[in-house]
Structure 1
Amino acid sequence: MNRAILEGLKRRISSVHGVWVDELPSVLWVMRTTPKTTSGESPFNLAFGTEAVLPLEMVFLKLCTSNYERGHSEEGLRANLDLLEERRARAHLRALAFKKVTARIYNRRVRPRPI
């Protein structure tokens, strides 16, 4: 995880040292809201049961943010929380399947040595 944070900071900061403090929150936001390959879900989604709304989406309104109604939103959040355990279980199964495929590909190249 630390390596991923450092790589994200290196991409954003080329030669100016000391600016990393200002860029750290945006790098962490990206890491929390980007879906991961193994589970197919973002860590934010697995923790809170809903997709994150970017601050920029509140400034430049999209269809989903312009039609926001508090009552419907709260009902949707409750429904998402009810399905959260199921979503986590599905993500866990996807991660296990990904690891199994990765192990199969790795083991295909391994040649046993005679003793």
Structure 2
Amino acid sequence: MAFASHLIIFFKDLGANLGLLSGLINEFTSPWVVLLLGALLNLFDNLMIYLDVAKKIPEPKVWQMCIFNGADSRAFSNTGALVTLVKIFRERRGFVLRIQKGYLGLSGAMTN
């Protein structure tokens, strides 16, 4: 059981920290597309967790829970916000990035 919880936590962190896909999508589309995909992933993640807790679906396997948590929508919302801020405030991007990353770290610490 301890291995399963560590595996789920690993995939949750992996999904939150790998913003490669969201960065590529943001590079070729508008930021609202990335934010919309993040919202849809968030809906899917929370719906699956709700269905599991409410016993509406059979108990998922560990790999299925890793997918639910690994498709973390925070990477999409973080990428959409950061890239948009850097494009808007080009001359002050270092300052903007420090504020944004500090905010994201604080909000992540409160939710975990």
Q: Same fold (TM over 0.5)?
A: no
Which structure would you say has the larger RCO, counting Cα contacts within 8 Å and 6 or more residues apart?
2
Instruction: State TM-score, norm by structure 2.
Output: 0.28
